[in-house]
A = this chain, B = another copy of it.
């Protein structure tokens, strides 16, 4: 099959890869119908994370092609969505809603879903069947649910977003934008997008942002306080993963407020005294997207949300190199790869 391999930073190629096979009786093989490039794929692309001939991709929708003997909940031919972490969905951690830290978790990034096919471990726990036949718009949205929507949703949930709340969103990439959509859906009264890019600001408003703050760092924090009677936001979504963005998120949040952080941490060190004084709730990490998938699929298939609008470029899988380049150069927010 054809699949994306990152040979080195900046060097993305579509090559022949071996077809996946069922390795465990709990595996399924899916024919990937769409996949995409994640903001986190840019860390190795830009040389921040090490990479050496690595199969890429962890987001996917597709059709079940083969199933292992123990797979009961999906059948060949089913149209399915799964998250970027395969999980059994039965251990105590999964039952508590933290499937991204399942005792038997398998990171799909190690398998590489930017390919024609993919092995899905723990298929019963991982895959969710989509009812009916999605439209083209719904298809895009289902792909978004696989990671960016589910991650933005978790961030909003972790930040305890709810009716009447003021929400600040640090980061205007796809996950930040999905956090805005989630906050809007969860009933937030005010959603302040921290963004200095006109195109992202427009998308942010489309997804539900009520205010835009262009300032960053201490100035950004001061601006959020100004907009909230000096208190700070009730809920802050952090969707970048840098020292500056974490400090900005914590600083923008009122005492007793909540920070949901989902930007993959790079070089972040939190000072214990600052954290002690801040007195904010912190919850983050790899999002347990699987927890939210049934609800997200329902919202998408009934046209209540349109997260697929975050894809502003669609290319065939064969043009994956251009997809990475467009995201790296900020010409695209999020690129869908079709097969």
Interface assignment of A261: CB less than 8 Å from any CB of chain B? yes
Cα of A305 to Cα of B270 in the assembled complex, Å: 37
Interface assignment of A273: CB less than 8 Å from any CB of chain B? yes
Give the distance to chain B from A110, nearest Cβ to Cβ, in Å: 15
The segment from A30-38, A65-73, A281-289 that touches chain B is A281-289
Cα of A282 to Cα of B100 in the assembled complex, Å: 18
Give the distance to chain B from A281, nearest Cβ to Cβ, in Å: 5
Whether A282 contacts B279 by the Cβ 8 Å rule is no
Whether B279 contacts A285 by the Cβ 8 Å rule is yes
Return the contact of A101 from the options B92, B256, B269 (Cβ within 8 A): B256
Interface assignment of A132: CB less than 8 Å from any CB of chain B? no
Interface assignment of A278: CB less than 8 Å from any CB of chain B? yes
Contacts of A98 in B (CB 8 A): 255-256, 279
Residues of A241-298 whose CB lies within 8 A of B: 241, 243, 246, 254-256, 261, 264-273, 275-286, 288
Cα of A261 to Cα of B281 in the assembled complex, Å: 11
Interface assignment of A230: CB less than 8 Å from any CB of chain B? yes
Give the distance to chain B from A92, nearest Cβ to Cβ, in Å: 5
Whether A270 contacts B270 by the Cβ 8 Å rule is yes
Cα of A286 to Cα of B93 in the assembled complex, Å: 30
Contacts of A254 in B (CB 8 A): 92-93, 96
Interface assignment of A185: CB less than 8 Å from any CB of chain B? no
Contacts of A230 in B (CB 8 A): 103
CB-nearest residue of chain B to A281: B283
In the complex with contacts A93-B254, A93-B255, A254-B93, A101-B279 CB distance below 8 A? yes
Cα of A336 to Cα of B295 in the assembled complex, Å: 55
Whether A272 contacts B272 by the Cβ 8 Å rule is no
Cα of A181 to Cα of B92 in the assembled complex, Å: 26
Interface assignment of A162: CB less than 8 Å from any CB of chain B? no
Contacts of A101 in B (CB 8 A): 255-256, 279
Q: Mark A80-99, 1 if CB is under 8 A from B, else 0.
A: 00000000000011001110
Whether A264 contacts B276 by the Cβ 8 Å rule is yes
Cα of A60 to Cα of B256 in the assembled complex, Å: 25
A residues with CB within 8 A of B: 92-93, 96-98, 100-101, 103, 229-231, 241, 243, 246, 254-256, 261, 264-273, 275-286, 288
11 A-B pairs with CB atoms under 8 Å apart are A92-B229, A92-B254, A93-B231, A98-B256, A264-B276, A265-B275, A266-B273, A268-B276, A277-B285, A281-B281, A282-B282
10 extra A-B contacts, CB within 8 A, seeds A266-B272, A279-B283, A279-B284: A92-B229, A101-B256, A241-B276, A266-B273, A267-B272, A268-B271, A269-B270, A270-B275, A275-B282, A282-B282
